[in-house]
Amino acid sequence: LLREVERQLLERDRLRRWGTGYGGYEVGARQSSEPVRNWQEEWHDEKRFGGPKFDFRYWVKRYWSDFNCPVACMKIAVVKTGPYEGAITDDPDYEMQAYLGPNLGIFDPDKCIYLSALIDYLGFSGINGGNTLAFAAELYQRGILTKEDLGFELNWGDVEAFEKLARMIVKREGIGNILAEGTYRAALKISEIKGVDVTKYAVHVKGVEVGAHGTRSGLDFNPISYACSPQCGDHTSGVYDAYNDTRIVFFDSAVVCAMCGSPLIWDFYKAVTGWDLTDDEWCRVLGRRIMHIQRAVLLLGGPDVFWRPEIHDDNPPRFYEPLPSGPYKGKTTDRKVFEDMRKQYYEAIGWDERGIPKSSVLRELGLEDVDKALDKVRKQ
């Protein structure tokens, strides 16, 4: 089985050669769906980004992996000359290239690698952190946050300024104390302090910063990918339809890399567990159970957060703005199309018109306890 999977993977060599970083140019230039300056744009034509460009200039270890992985998509990148000489980081993968590159107005790979190494060192997510840094930069661009608020200027492309702000966030110093709460909570607090609604500049879904894949061009994520996902804006959300979405849940549950997806996955499952399980059994029963439990946990909320699906199962406001540049200039996420897709998804997966899992579906799946817990949500 291992030999056959390795053969299949080597037939599609792009992931092995370049990792997910191959998308650094492809997603931005060809698909117009990469964050640029806090998603004000989604297109760039910067050919220095992407795996093929990082390969010969930066990577000192091209094939690196966990034990016995046949793909070995991880890379080690080192800046070899210039002011950032010696900066070392893994890959950077696509999300790090996007969020710590074009999303911050940075189109120099040296600077992107330096920030990627810094974010790893400081110990927070490049996706969430990169999103929050860009959110702050847009507020500075618009004059909502000032030099007095920050202690320095925060212009697009200024690596030193973004480094200062990242360190302030980690230490919760000054404005960093607010931004450390993440983009969503920071937007609420800054709106309160400034008396200006800045939530429209916060690119998140139900409090989770979105992955580096847009919906406006129609060539990447679709209108409900983030909005209807139990994982909210998480970059592995990728909702497409109520049947196939459960396969993503399998990879997480089985602790299997989704990048190594293979028709032989169920043969591996049997070899490891001794249990027979078909793709259909997983998608119709086991995977659905997990997704309904995830949804229930989300809807039950927390001490200071309560999500109403009919309001919050939605995209960030920015995704409804027309793309301002690139080959798909003028395209946007159509709200009517989105609302129709959301309604169809609710029905297909077994949620009611408000987006709450139906009692009959939960009981059919043996989730009576989950059904009982959701009673208080249904009454609200």
Query: Per-residue pLDDT tens for 87-139?
Result: 999 988 999 999 999 999 999 999 999 999 999 999 989 999 999 999 999 99
Q: Which two tokens stand for residue 221?
A: 């994520």
Q: 24-47: buried (b, 16+ CB within 10 Å) or exposed (e) per residue?
A: bbbbbbbbbbbbbbbbbbbbbebe
Q: What is the pLDDT of residue 351?
A: 97
Q: What is the pLDDT of residue 316?
A: 98
Q: Model's pTM, two decimal places? A: 0.95
**207-220 pLDDT per residue, tens:** 999 999 999 999 99
Q: What is the pLDDT of residue 312?
A: 94
- 143: phi then psi, degrees, rounded to nearest 5: 80, 10
CA dihedral over 101, 105, 111, 115, signed as positive or negative: negative
Concatenating the DSSP letter of every residue in 150-218 gives HSS---TT-HHHHHHHHHHHHHT-TTHHHHTT-HHHHHHHHHHHHTS--GGG--EETTEEPPS--SSSS
Rounded to whole angstroms, the Cα distance separating 248 from 276 reads 19
Choices 3.30.70.20, 3.40.640.10, 1.10.599.10, 1.20.1250.20: CATH for 245-379:
1.10.599.10
Q: What is the pLDDT of residue 304?
A: 77
**162 with 115: CB under 8 angstroms?**
yes
Q: What is the pLDDT of residue 7?
A: 81
Query: What are 64's strand-pairing partners?
Result: 73, 74
Write down the CATH number for the domain with range 1-209.
1.10.569.10
Q: Kindly list the averaged pLDDT for each block of 10 residues, start to end, along the chain of length 380.
A: 79 81 80 96 85 82 81 90 96 92 95 96 95 99 98 99 98 98 98 98 97 95 94 85 83 81 81 90 92 95 84 97 97 97 96 97 98 94
User: Using the 8-state DSSP alphabet, how is residue 124 labeled?
Assistant: S
Q: What is the pLDDT of residue 8?
A: 78
Q: What is the pLDDT of residue 188?
A: 97
User: Using the 8-state DSSP alphabet, how is residue 323 labeled?
Assistant: P
